[in-house]
Structure 1
Amino acid sequence: MSQSAPPPQPSQPGPVEGNPYAQQAPAGAPYPPQPGAPQPGAFAPPAPPAPGRSNFVLGLVAAVVAAAAAAALYGVIIGATKHEIGYAAVGVGFVVGVAAGKAGGRNPVLPIAAVVLSLAAVYLGQLVGEAMIGAKASGLGFSTVFFDHFDIVQKAWKEEADPLTFVFFAIAGFAAFSGTKKAAA
């Protein structure tokens, strides 16, 4: 005696027949192929790079704020130690450059602006340090020495300046330029 197979049932439209997204995956594939998606082994072009941001005004404002803060801190360091510290000058340049690059992006003028601002910040910091040293020596207040006798502060700076002072300026400018480029990347 042989057993016969049950007759095939008429096909009723179910969720698979009416839904193109409910297809079964081919053997060995975890998901069914999607229209428009790259197939396994096919070359997919790389995504285009994200557009670089460029906000000169925001970068300049951030650099000015960073330069003012770094100049004040550098001046306090010089006033407290009574010595010019080269690493601190490099730090001033780097802080100004990073602030400009992070806030302003890839604007090509920002590195140059950061160099100028870092040089001004180093100079201002050295003047603040000289004024602090003069205030301690004279018994006057810092603001009196710095604002009322600024010509004396500048004269003291000129007398104290040596070739190493200008090397610190150059290194601070380089640190500002490279810090801006790295932060904007």
Structure 2
Amino acid sequence: MSQPVPPPGNPFAQGAEPYPSAPPAPPARSKVGLGLVAALIAALVAGGVYGGIAGGIEREIGWAAVGVGFLVGFAAGKAGGSNPALPVVSAVLSLGAVYFGQLFALAIIGGKALDVSATEILFDHFDVLTQAWKEELDPLTFLFFALAAFAAFTGAKKAAG
């Protein structure tokens, strides 16, 4: 009695695929709305924390602005996916978050000096607060704004894909 000769190649195949091929991946869904909401929440939280810390120690921590930007971008990319609008929106929101953080820090510092609450300065004397912010501007402020926007843009791209 002779044994059947296996086909060339895989000796265990017996003419059939040993494993079925995987089903195709489902199409990627765009979750832009979720990404925008996540970026907005991250911007508000990160800006508040940034301002609270800077106001508490009474000095600006410029490199922390990069962290604010990255957090905003990361949240947008992770929640929203790889939509090309999310990195741009993240960069814009990170600029707003850093600006809000700087204003909040000035309000805390001013509140300590004047013995009033920071919220009173923010809401009742916003014009004075923005004037003080303008007087404190220097080239490093703009550098950290740019770095925050860049970190948000790249953070959103990295988190998405």
TM-score normalised by the chain length of structure 1: 0.75
Label 1:121 to 1:30 Cα distance change in 2 as closer, same or farther (>3 A).
Answer: same
Shift of 1:102: 0.2
Structural RMSD (CA): 2.5
Q: Do residues 84 (structure 1) and 60 (structure 2) align?
A: yes
Deviations 1:18-77 (A, max 9, x none): xxxxxxxx6xx7855362x279xxxxx999777444211000000000000001001011
Query: Any conservation in 2 of the 1:53–1:106 contact (CA below 8 Å)?
Result: no
CA distance in 2, matches of 1:181, 1:136: 40
Q: Do residues 162 (structure 1) and 143 (structure 2) align?
A: no
Query: How many percent identity over aligned positions?
Result: 57
CA distance in 2, matches of 1:53, 1:93: 25
Corresponding residue to 1:93 among 27, 44, 69:
69
Give the match for residue 144 of structure 1. Answer: 120
CA distance in 2, matches of 1:73, 1:182: 23
Shift of 1:110: 0.5
Query: Any conservation in 2 of the 1:52–1:106 contact (CA below 8 Å)?
Result: no
Corresponding residue to 1:114 among 87, 90, 106:
90
Deviations 1:105-152 (A, max 9, x none): 010100000001000000000000000000000001111111101111
For 1:85, what is the secondary structure of its paired residue? coil
CA distance in 2, matches of 1:34, 1:126: 70
CA distance in 2, matches of 1:178, 1:50: 26
Q: Do residues 135 (structure 1) and 111 (structure 2) align?
A: yes
CA distance in 2, matches of 1:86, 1:55: 32
Give the match for residue 49 of structure 2. Answer: 73
Gaps of 5+ in 1: 1-25, 40-44
CA distance in 2, matches of 1:32, 1:180: 46
Corresponding residue to 1:55 among 7, 31, 37:
31
- Higher-Rg structure is 1
Give the match for residue 15 of structure 1. Answer: none
Query: Any conservation in 2 of the 1:72–1:128 contact (CA below 8 Å)?
Result: yes
Query: Any conservation in 2 of the 1:75–1:124 contact (CA below 8 Å)?
Result: yes
Deviations 1:69-95 (A, max 9, x none): 001001011101211112210000000
